[in-house]
Amino acid sequence: MNADPSLLSVLKTPREQGADIVSGDGQSLGIPLSFGGPYIGYITTTTPLVRKMPGRIVGLTKDVDGKRAFVLTLQAREQHIRREKANSNICSNQSLMALYVTIYLATLGQHGLVDVATRSIQATHYLYEKLLATGQFKKVWDAPFAHEVVLTSKLNLEKLNDHLLKKGILGGLPVVLPNGKTGWLFCVTEKRTKPQIEQLLQEVEMMANEVL
């Protein structure tokens, strides 16, 4: 299972849901966005499987020419460098990222983590219902969701995102759905206020009026 650690304060644990191996991205635990990194990830498992976990994972991708290529998706840094040559290796400080997370978790505490997750969930559901009410968006699935959801829209999503960005709002991520249509994947973090959400809705309405 892939689990967002910022939500685990209000959801059943992956183990309670039957998972044996769990991984996820810990950027949401107090690490700045920093133009894409460095971030921190985690992978954990049950005691009987610990000795079976790989030291490295090789992923399949494509190079700049579109040809098939392989990349080390997960690796232990010490596997590839000797101590006497370490000064030639420039890399992120993993312990610094761990310190970010430790301070964040210690500062918020148990009740703070619940509050952060609850605020994000409530804000996302609020925006979700309001976008549907505009008549410009439609549901994709009826399954429960936490703080990320996909909608389809009558609007040109690329133009909508460009318009929102000019207003200082980061719009949803266009994603290709199984039926070939383009969806708008969005979330609302705990930092966003209701007036900010209302501003987004006003901008959506403005775009809809321009299309009409």
Contacts of 40 (CB under 8 A, 6+ apart): 25, 26, 27, 29, 31, 94, 97, 98, 100, 101
When pLDDT is averaged across residues 120-124 and rounded to a whole number, the result is 96
When pLDDT is averaged across residues 126-143 and rounded to a whole number, the result is 95
Tokens standing for residue 66: 């579109």
Tokens standing for residue 81: 């460098």
pLDDT at 39: 87
Query: Using CB atoms within 10 A of its CB, is residue 152 exposed (0-12), middle (13-18) or buried (19+)?
Result: middle
199: left (phi over 0), alpha (psi -120 to 50) or beta: alpha
How far is residue 164 from each of residues 123, 155, 158, 161, measured CA to CA in Å?
18, 13, 10, 5
pLDDT at 171: 93
DSSP-assigned states of every residue in the chain? -B--GGGTTTS--TTTTT-SEEEEE-TTTT---GGG----EEEEE-GGGGGGS-S-EEEEEE-TTS-EEEEEEE--GGGS--GGGGGG-----HHHHHHHHHHHHHHHHHHHHHHHHHHHHHHHHHHHHHHHHTTSEEES--S--SS-EEEEESS-HHHHHHHHHHTT---PEEEE-TTS-EEEEE---TT--HHHHHHHHHHHHHHHHHH-
**23 CB-side CA count, 13 A:** 5
What is the share, in percent, of the chain residues with pLDDT greater than 70? 91
When pLDDT is averaged across residues 110-136 and rounded to a whole number, the result is 96
For the chain, what are the domain ranges? 5-109, 112-211
Contacts of 134 (CB under 8 A, 6+ apart): 201, 204, 205, 208
When pLDDT is averaged across residues 163-185 and rounded to a whole number, the result is 93
Q: Which region among 79-88, 115-124, 171-180 has the lowest average model confidence (pLDDT)?
A: 79-88
171 and 164 Cβ atoms separated by less than 8 Å = yes
* In the predicted structure, residue 90 carries a pLDDT above the cut 70: no
Residue with tokens 């909608």: 151
pLDDT at 87: 57
When pLDDT is averaged across residues 122-144 and rounded to a whole number, the result is 95
Which superfamily does CATH assign the domain made up of 112-211 to?
A: Aspartate Aminotransferase, domain 1 (3.90.1150.10)
* CATH class for the region spanning 5-109: alpha beta
Q: What are phi and psi of 147, to 5 degrees?
A: -120, 20
